[in-house]
Amino acid sequence: MPSSLLANDLGAYPSPHLAVDIVLFTMNHNVLKVVTMERTAEPFAGQQVLPGGFVHPGETLDTTAKRVLSEKAGLPELSVEQLYTFSQLGRDPRGWVVSVVYFVLVPYEQLLAAAGELADRGLPAIEAAANDPQMRLVEHGKEVTLGFDHAAIVWTALSRLRGKLDWSSLPFALLPPKFTLLELQQVREAVLGRPLNKPHFRKKWHNKLLPGGARLKPTGLLTSGRRHRPAELYQLEVESK
Amino acid sequence: MPSSLLANDLGAYPSPHLAVDIVLFTMNHNVLKVVTMERTAEPFAGQQVLPGGFVHPGETLDTTAKRVLSEKAGLPELSVEQLYTFSQLGRDPRGWVVSVVYFVLVPYEQLLAAAGELADRGLPAIEAAANDPQMRLVEHGKEVTLGFDHAAIVWTALSRLRGKLDWSSLPFALLPPKFTLLELQQVREAVLGRPLNKPHFRKKWHNKLLPGGARLKPTGLLTSGRRHRPAELYQLEVESK
DNA sequence: TTGACATATATCCATACTGCATGTAACTTG
DNA sequence: CAAGTTACATGCAGTATGGATATATGTCAA
């Protein structure tokens, strides 16, 4: 017969410290970027790390993620999505720390408005070709090394984002509410790390119904002042049905 | 300027208790089942719950999952996959407990061999139609209620399993090493909760190359003693290339 | 021995999606 | 007004999808 589950008193075992780290993606000039911050304390002082913080009593992990996003980047209104929980031994030199990692997408304009100093400094750009398990983080032409195991975490997040491209409406969170089909194509090219065929892309995405029930609808509005023929603006609409 | 990350001493905040719960799927008579155990202690004494346990110092979460699987079901050699981390407040009446949930697939024969008493008792069968957000757990004709938030956890695991059907070789872990195409089809029908077209299914899966680099190859062997025409046995082979 | 039965397996067809080539339209800048 | 750049449309070949239909081959019962 199965032994009783959780028969031990709570508190019988020591618990790890539980933290939340955020992979905050954004996109600027057709390049996918990730928000990092300089660490001031040891360990890894002076290096770039992902924004994060410890879980407080009375918080769910989602709540912690939103609080960290608000405190560190001034972005309180974003929807967050849990990615993975990292628990490798020794991943934090200070002790036993388990990190639940969230990933979040934000249009560059919104990031600028909320935390301009972040973007001024420049953010690490993600360079990762489609069929290449390598990933480089580049800022101002030179490679950035992240502290802790955060480089591996960003790679995991990028893989998940790629997987979500085709069947989730989440990647639209990298774009402003209204966007052209070319802008959408550039987002997908940057995430996938490879070029896409343009006429085919247009046919596929014009008025496309997404699995979530949303539809990509043309608005009738046009771009202007862009030194070429204006393009129609599209937006994501929830299907009434 | 960004404030320092993790500036607080470790230990400044209280930590939740960290547990691992396992959703162990198996399949018998074309029905998808999940392994549960009767809880003997309060809270939820007498109810069925998922196998689980607390993380020990010196363990990664994967290690904990494998230890729990070994201790509670006698299955030490299975590969485990992290599903999601649950942290709703009040999900455990005893206190602040965060659960990292893993899901695992095992062929019914292997489960029988390792923990026959589990299968003798009967396991809750999962009844969930394709486009229906409802899910019922049924054992011996009547609905089973799971303790804690474990019903919601099983639903999350089923959703993930469905999502993995098309692009992962993981669902093959529900089958023995050699199997017929019909058996594979029945696995997929049980997981998806809807029938599939047979001729199309055969064309699609004969010699199919899976994303992971594995290929579904016919072995030349045939079934026998099944009161109808023998079927060819297939197996998953890693592509040398 | 023979025919009913259940499942395996093969063939065919209509439709949709993919990847790509080609051509035309419309705005901005010099 | 010409050049440049991008938007937008159409057509085509190869492949995948979803399904109907027909034939093959074993077991089992009479």
Summarize pLDDT for A178-224 with one digit per residue, the tens.
999 999 999 999 999 988 999 999 999 988 888 777 889 899 888 88
Show which of residues 82-121 on chain A sit within 8 Å of chain B, judged by CB atoms. 82, 84-85, 87-89, 94-98, 100, 117-118
Query: Which of the 8 DSSP states describes residue A165?
Result: T
Q: Please compute the mean of the pLDDT values over residues A232-238 and round it to a whole number.
A: 90
Rounded to whole angstroms, how far apart are CA atoms B86 and A18? 13
Helix (H) or strand (E) holding A232: strand A232-238
Q: Please compute the mean of the pLDDT values over residues B184-205 and round it to a whole number.
A: 92
Considering all CA atoms of chain A, what is the largest pairwise distance in Å, rounded to the nearest integer? 75
Choose the weakest-confidence range: A117-121, A144-148, A187-191, B190-194.
A117-121
Confidence tier at B50 by pLDDT (50, 70, 90): very high
Show which of residues 50-79 on chain B sit within 8 Å of chain A, judged by CB atoms. 50-58, 60-62, 71-72
Burial of B12 (0-12, 13-18, 19+ CB in 10 A): exposed
Burial of A209 (0-12, 13-18, 19+ CB in 10 A): exposed
Does the CB of A189 sit below 7 A from strand D? no
Confidence tier at B1 by pLDDT (50, 70, 90): very low
* Nearest to A94, CA basis, from A43, A136, A46: A43
Rounded to whole angstroms, how far apart are CA atoms B209 and B239? 9
Does the CB of A199 sit below 7 A from strand D? yes
From the list A39, A60, A96, the residue facing B89 with the nearest CB is: A60
pTM: 0.91
How far apart, in Å, are the Cα atoms of A174 and each of A78, A179, A185, A198?
Answer: 11, 11, 12, 20
SS (H, E, C) chain B: CCCCCCCCCCCCCCCCEEEEEEEEEEEECCEEEECCEECCCCCCCCCEECCEEECCCCCCHHHHHHHHHHHHHCCCCCCCEEEEEECCCCCCCCCCEEEEEEEEECCHHHHHHHCHHHHHHCCCEEECCCCCCCCEEEECCEECCECCCHHHHHHHHHHHHHHHCCCCCHHHHHCCCCECHHHHHHHHHHHHCCCCCHHHHHHHHCCCECCCCEEEEEEEEECCCCCCCCCEEEEEEECCC
Rounded to whole angstroms, how far apart are CA atoms B29 and B112? 14
pLDDT at residue number B19: 97
Which residue is closest, via its CA, to the C1' of C4? B228
Q: Amino acid identity of B27?
A: M
pLDDT at residue number A17: 95
Query: Which of the 8 DSSP states describes residue A199?
Result: H
CB contact, 8 Å: B5 with chain A?
Answer: yes
Count of all residues that appear for chain B in the document: 241
Q: CB under 7 Å from any atom of strand C: which residues?
A: A 197, 199-200, 203-204, 224-230; B 180-182, 198-199, 202-203, 222, 227-232
* Nearest to A22, CA basis, from A32, A6, A34, A31: A34
pLDDT at residue number B239: 65
- Chain A residues with CB inside 8 Å of B85's CB? 61, 82, 85, 100
Confidence tier at B105 by pLDDT (50, 70, 90): very high
| % of chain A surpassing 70 pLDDT | 93
pLDDT at residue number A120: 67
Confidence tier at A4 by pLDDT (50, 70, 90): very low
Cβ pair B181, B201 in contact under 8 A: yes
pLDDT at residue number A223: 85
Confidence tier at B81 by pLDDT (50, 70, 90): very high
Kindly report, residue by residue over B2-40, the tens digit of the pLDDT: 333 344 467 667 899 999 999 999 998 889 999 999 999
* Nearest to B19, CA basis, from B67, B45, B56, B72: B56
Q: Which nucleotide is nearest to A180 (CA to C1')?
A: D7
pLDDT at residue number B11: 60
Kindly report, residue by residue over A86-143, the tens digit of the pLDDT: 999 999 999 999 999 999 999 999 999 998 777 667 799 998 887 777 899 999 888 9
From the list A12, A19, A39, the residue facing B4 with the nearest CB is: A39
CA of B200 to C1' of D17 (A): 8
> Which region, left, alpha or beta, applies to residue A6 given φ > 0 means left and ψ of -120 to 50 means alpha?
left
Which residue is closest, via its CA, to the C1' of D20? B199
Q: Above 90 in pLDDT, residue B233?
A: yes
Shortest CA distance from B14: residue in chain A: A57
From the list A13, A37, A52, the residue facing B54 with the nearest CB is: A13
Confidence tier at B86 by pLDDT (50, 70, 90): very high
How far apart, in Å, are the Cα atoms of A191 and each of A157, A158, A162?
Answer: 11, 8, 6
Q: Taking CB atoms and an 8 Å limit, are B7 and A85 in contact across chains?
A: no
CB contact, 8 Å: A229 with chain B?
Answer: no
pLDDT at residue number B47: 95
Cβ pair A18, A100 in contact under 8 A: yes
From the list B2, B13, B40, the residue facing A72 with the nearest CB is: B2
